[in-house]
Amino acid sequence: MAAARKRRARGGRATAPAAPPRPASPPSPLRRLAIPISLGLALALISATDRVSDQLVLTRSVWAAAGALLAWCLVLALQARRDGRTLSLHVVLRPQHYVQAMLHISVLTYWGYHWRPVYDHAWLLVAQLLFAYAFDMLLAWSRRESYGLGFGPFPIIFSTNLFLWFRDDWFYLQFLMLAAGFMGKAFVRWERDGRRTHIFNPSAFSLGLFSVVLIATGTTSLTWGQEIASTLTLAPRIYLFLFAIGLVAMYAFSITLVAGTAAIVLFGASALYSAVTGVPYFIDSEIPSAVFLGLHLLVTDPSTSPRTPVGKAVFGLGYGLGVFLLYAVLGFLGVPTFYDKLLGVPLLNLSVRWIDRMVARLREGERLPLVDAPLAPAQTNLAFMTGWILFFGAMTLAGATDGRHRGDTLPFWEMTCGEGRAQACERLLQIQTNYCGDNAGWACNELGRYYAEGVVVTPDPDRARAAFAQACELRFQAGCLNLLRPDDWLSSDPRPIDYRLLLREAGPNLVDMPEPALLTRACAHGWRSACGDSTP
């Protein structure tokens, strides 16, 4: 309240807080600062855990973050004492914070159960939470605002880490990324509906910004971004899981039209592309699982998205089309395509007021009869949710969500590449490169042949040799022999150990699958030699 009065006295218009601040106890700056100091010390203590102390750079990163926070506390204490200023605090418990946080935690838990690095990351999540609370608090007090204590940092940290985190040797950049998100929330603001509010979804802002930097500097390998984007499917029935999680968010925050429209646009555009070209757009899915996650939990922040039904639908449409186009553009530029779901969100946040104005104009011109539908908003949302459930059910029955996708099978891509289908050879090359990177000797040998023969891709003897060498080191005999042959390169069928990778269908490697079942699966994938071998 005092801070608000001060702002008014300077001529600015104060932002009306959603919940009236309830300043608690007496104005002792040092006493309030005990909270961020404790958070900073707790952060420093995390460096004693095995997860952090095993890595020198990581330890130093945590120390540096904690040290910066404590130094900031000291400066703030001196300033507050000098100015006789009160550092105030009020409690703000908002469902969009704690419900979203619970949804994020459930995704991390389920995903981490099937991909261990997520659980290994747990201490670093705690570290980020401590940092986020302290940073957000100090930033508010430095701006002479009352700090709203609640669960706000939780969804920011979790949604950031659902899409990107830096490797241990560069983890200090993770703290900087979070700092950018909170600074964006504090400083990049506009007026909307008579309130001064932040423009960008904080996590999407920092993710988008850092994505641009990572792309521009070619440093994606400093992060786990690629692995994160491709390991969600290790969790069985991940689409169904995300759908269920999404229903909670849709019910609680009426974001059905945003997520649903984005999903429908992506399903539709993907199906259209597939019908025209004969090959799937997203290689092995109709919507990549990470995009499906993003359209439920990244783009749907109620504070930074439109509030009218039509506005939400337009917002979702923009996200769907944005992802669709960015996927192609990033692929064309040779940039990792997983950034497709991250780059568009800040731009969409920027378009919110334009969308609001457009809807208002349409409403004024009575060109939006559905806006004033007879149902109450909650009932309308339930109606939209019903439609979304039916649509998702139909997609699932059509095999467009969980389960085998035709793009999962290599023979499909070999066939479509041979037929000259759009992008099929590029996709085949990409898939073989991925499998070779995962140590499938057969895939490395095929990759070597592609580069040696120049049929699928422009000839490149150095890459051919490197791929043959890797195949050979994986004990794939044809790869070794191809290193000795100047031309007429050999190929042979995958070995069982290769099938365990090639047939995983975006799930975990089939390490324990008995060989007969493996061959049956291979036959179903279109490997003719496996059909012969498995026939009694």
Partner 1 sequence: MRARLAFGLRGQHAVTEPSPVMSPSDGSRPGLMLLALLIAGVGAWMFTQTPSRGGTEPPPGAAPPPALPGFRSDAWLLPDEPLLGFVKIPEGPFLMGGTPATDPGAFDNERWSSTLSRGTVTLETYYLSRYEVTVAQFAAFVVDTGYEPAAETLAAPGDHPVSHVSWPDALAYADWLTGALAAAPNTPEPLRQRLAAGWRVMLPTEAQWEKAARGPDDRIYPWGDTADRARANFQGQTTVPVGSYACDDCPYGLADMGGNVWEWTRSPYQPYPFTGDDDVDTLGDDALWVMRGGSFTDPERNLRTGTRGGGDPGARRPFMGFRVVLATP
Residues 309, 295: Cα–Cα separation, whole Å: 16
Residues paired with 196 in a beta bridge? 191
CB 104 within 8 A of CB 162: yes
Instruction: Please tell me the distance from the alpha carbon of residue 163 to that of residue 203, in angstroms, as a whole number.
Output: 10
**Backbone phi and psi for residue 420, each to the nearest 5 degrees, phi listed first:** 75, 25
Residues 308, 314, 320: CA angle, nearest 5 degrees: 135
- Which residue among 3, 103, 480, 503 contacts partner 1 (CB under 8 A)? 480
Least spacing, CB of residue 188 vs partner 1, in Å: 6
CB of 345 to partner 1, least distance (A): 17
> Which of 209, 287 has the CB closer to partner 1?
209
Number of residues that bind partner 1 (CB under 8 A): 59
Taking CB under 8 A as the criterion, the residue among 5, 9, 10, 370 binding partner 1 is 10
Q: Smallest gap, in angstroms, from Cβ of residue 355 to partner 1?
A: 13
Residue 350's contacts (CB-CB under 8 Å, 6 or more residues apart) are 199, 200
- Best CA proximity match to 264, nearest among 323, 311, 308: 323
- 492 makes contact with partner 1 (CB under 8 A): yes
Q: Binding of partner 1 at residue 379 (CB under 8 A)?
A: no
Which of 241, 476 has the CB closer to partner 1?
Answer: 476
Q: How far is the CB of 7 from partner 1 (least distance, A)?
A: 7
Binding-site member from 45, 222, 330, 513 for partner 1 (CB under 8 A): 222
From CA 232, how far away is CA 222, in angstroms rounded? 20
Q: How far is the CB of 43 from partner 1 (least distance, A)?
A: 19
449 touches 485 (CB < 8 A): no
Which residues lie closer than 8 Å to 283 by C-beta, 6 or more apart? 407, 427, 430, 431
CB of 485: closest distance to partner 1 in angstroms? 7
The span from the CA of 284 to the CA of 293, in Å, is 16
CB of 508 to partner 1, least distance (A): 23
Contacts of 232 (CB under 8 A, 6+ apart): 111, 238, 289, 290, 293
Instruction: Report residue 345: phi and psi, to 5°.
Output: -65, -50
The token pair that represents 187 in the structure block: 């400083």
353 in contact with partner 1 (CB under 8 A): yes
Regarding 473 and contact with partner 1 (CB under 8 A), the answer is yes
Please state, in angstroms and rounded to a whole number, the distance separating the CA atoms of residues 499 and 438.
Answer: 12
Among 22, 31, 143, 361, contact with partner 1 (rule: CB under 8 A)? 143
Q: Is 166 helix (H, G, I), strand (E, B) or coil?
A: strand
Going by their DSSP bridges, the two strands 89-91 and 147-149 should be labelled as parallel
Please name the residue ranges forming H helices in 10-94.
Answer: 29-46, 50-53, 56-83
Query: C-alpha distances in angstroms, 141 versus 33, 72, 85, 87?
Result: 10, 11, 10, 6
Smallest gap, in angstroms, from Cβ of residue 417 to partner 1? 23
Contact stretch for partner 1 (CB under 8 A) within 76-84, 123-131, 141-149, 273-281: 141-149
Query: Of 119 and 190, which has the nearer Cβ to partner 1?
Result: 190
Binding of residue 315 to partner 1 (CB under 8 A): no
Q: Whole-angstrom Cα distance, residue 299 to residue 253?
A: 12
Spell out where 266-327 has E strands: none
Interface with partner 1, residue 493, by CB under 8 A: yes
Binding status of residue 213 toward partner 1 by CB under 8 A: yes
Nearer to partner 1, 421 or 465 (CB): 465
Q: Which is nearer to partner 1, 114 or 465 (CB)?
A: 465
Closer to partner 1 at the Cβ: 368 or 466? 466
Under the criterion CB under 8 A, does residue 536 sit at the interface with partner 1? no
Asked if residue 167 binds partner 1 (CB under 8 A), the reply is no
377 binds partner 1 (CB under 8 A): no
Q: Which is nearer to partner 1, 145 or 301 (CB)?
A: 145
Give the binding range for partner 1 (CB under 8 A) out of 128-136, 168-176, 397-405, 406-414.
168-176
Kindly list the residues in this chain that would bind partner 1 in the complex (CB under 8 A): 7, 10-13, 142-144, 170, 173, 176, 179-180, 183-184, 186-192, 194, 196, 199, 209-210, 213-214, 216-219, 221-222, 353, 357, 465, 468-470, 472-481, 483-486, 490, 492-493, 495
